[in-house]
Amino acid sequence: HAMDSKVGEVLLYYCYCEVKDPEKLCAWQKALCQHLHLTGKVRVASEGINGTVGGSKVATSLYIEVMLSQPLFKDILCQEDFKSSAGGAHCFPDLRVGVFKEIVPMGIDPKIVSYKETGIHLSPQEFHREVEQYLSQASQGQSDTILLDCRNFYESKIGHFQGCLAPDIRKFSYFPSYVDENLEVFKDKRVLMYCTGGIRCERGSAYLRSKAVCREVYQLKGGIHKYLEEFPDGFYRGKLFVFDDRYAICSNEDIISACRYCGSLWDQYKLCSSQHCRQLVLTCPSCRNKGLTACCPVCQEKELKVTSRASGQTLKEECECTRRRPRVPIEHVSQRTLDAGK
């Protein structure tokens, strides 16, 4: 069966550590991935490395072995830090390895808010217990805790922890302003924070802590990825969004989101069919068959009258979806009802 050759794996990992020569690490990393025929994305910075790569099982296990023996990461990175899921090199269009200022783009200089000031790490088991306690207290309307999803809206839309606060933000770089604008929400609260693989929480929790308003800040070690390995049917419902051509991986059969057009349960993203739009859209097969393949009417229109532009001009277009969304949403605490019972 031809597909079997494709059954490899996708790895997700990060390591915060001091990198004296990011350019050199970048070149080494690129050569390593090419040698193992891995595709994916790797970000290198003076604060560490963050990557997601796909290839055959042989290649990914060799990759882990080499990474663990690399002197830079030797005492920091361990086997546990690699999250894996079924996939392969076909999950990414190509290999991109580059040097950046931050290994996760929060948009704040690592010298100003360092990963060293991070929150308290909880294992999936500890996090599970905390969420359980939080949900039972919240259902009685007496919780001093906020379960905070620090991912983007299109990630939390298709899967999230029950009773979470999921900011309606488009990029992680809006997270700091989100915190600034909503400090009241976090005042004197215990915050339980989570993201896909744990990396956004490292800087996100450090940023939240720097504001000195929360009672305590906790974060899920290894992210949703590790949580689902332990609790596939736990308090996380729906799919886990991933940043590759799969868009989502599944641990339980729940579908928590709906088709944009007809409202039937649907959680498989496609890119908006309008040429320059990079929005993801939830549109079910029957709506797609009717030609409803864009993220909103504005884009649907544009697609019908495909304008002849000077070639090479790829504009990220504004449409209803991008215009209607405030960059930084303000939470109205008093009216916020938790769907804790759901």
| Percent of the chain predicted with pLDDT > 70 | 91
Q: What span, in angstroms and rounded, lies between the C-alpha atoms of 70 and 22?
A: 14
* Range 35-39 average pLDDT: 98
Look at residue 278 in the predicted model and tell me its pLDDT: 80
Give the domain ranges of the chain: 9-99, 120-241, 258-305
Selection from 2-11, 139-148, 281-290 with the highest mean pLDDT: 281-290
- 146 has a pLDDT exceeding 50: yes
- 77 has a pLDDT exceeding 80: yes
* Range 181-201 average pLDDT: 96
Question: How far from the centroid of its chain's Cα atoms is residue 137's Cα?
Answer: 28
The answer to whether the beta carbons of residues 14 and 104 sit under 8 Å apart is yes
Q: What span, in angstroms and rounded, lies between the C-alpha atoms of 318 and 329?
A: 18
Query: What is the CATH superfamily name and number for domain 120-241?
Result: Rhodanese-like domain (3.40.250.10)
Question: How far from the centroid of its chain's Cα atoms is residue 316's Cα?
Answer: 21
Look at residue 305 in the predicted model and tell me its pLDDT: 64
Q: What span, in angstroms and rounded, lies between the C-alpha atoms of 174 and 189?
A: 21
Which of the four pLDDT bands, split at 50, 70 and 90, describes residue 334?
A: very low
* Range 313-342 average pLDDT: 61
Helix (H) / strand (E) element for 315: namely: none
Residues with Cβ within 8 Å of residue 125, at least 6 apart in sequence: 230
- 321 has a pLDDT exceeding 90: no
Q: Greater confidence, 17 or 275?
A: 17
The answer to whether the beta carbons of residues 221 and 122 sit under 8 Å apart is yes
- 338 has a pLDDT exceeding 70: no
Q: Is 58 helix (H, G, I), strand (E, B) or coil?
A: helix
Report yes or no on whether pTM surpasses 0.85.
yes
- 311 has a pLDDT exceeding 80: no
Query: Catalytic positions, please?
Result: 195
User: In sequence order, what DSSP letters do the residues of 107-153 get, joined into one string?
Assistant: SS-TTTS-GGG--EEE-HHHHHHHHHHHHHHHHTT---EEEEE-S-H
**Two structure tokens written together for 302:** 């544009």
- 330 has a pLDDT exceeding 50: yes
CATH level 3 topology of 9-99: Alpha-Beta Plaits (3.30.70)
The answer to whether the beta carbons of residues 277 and 303 sit under 8 Å apart is no
**Two structure tokens written together for 256:** 């928590």
- 3 has a pLDDT exceeding 50: no
Is it true that 9-99 and 120-241 share their CATH fold?
no
Look at residue 237 in the predicted model and tell me its pLDDT: 96
* Range 233-250 average pLDDT: 94
* Range 112-131 average pLDDT: 95
Q: State the chain's mean pLDDT as an integer.
A: 89
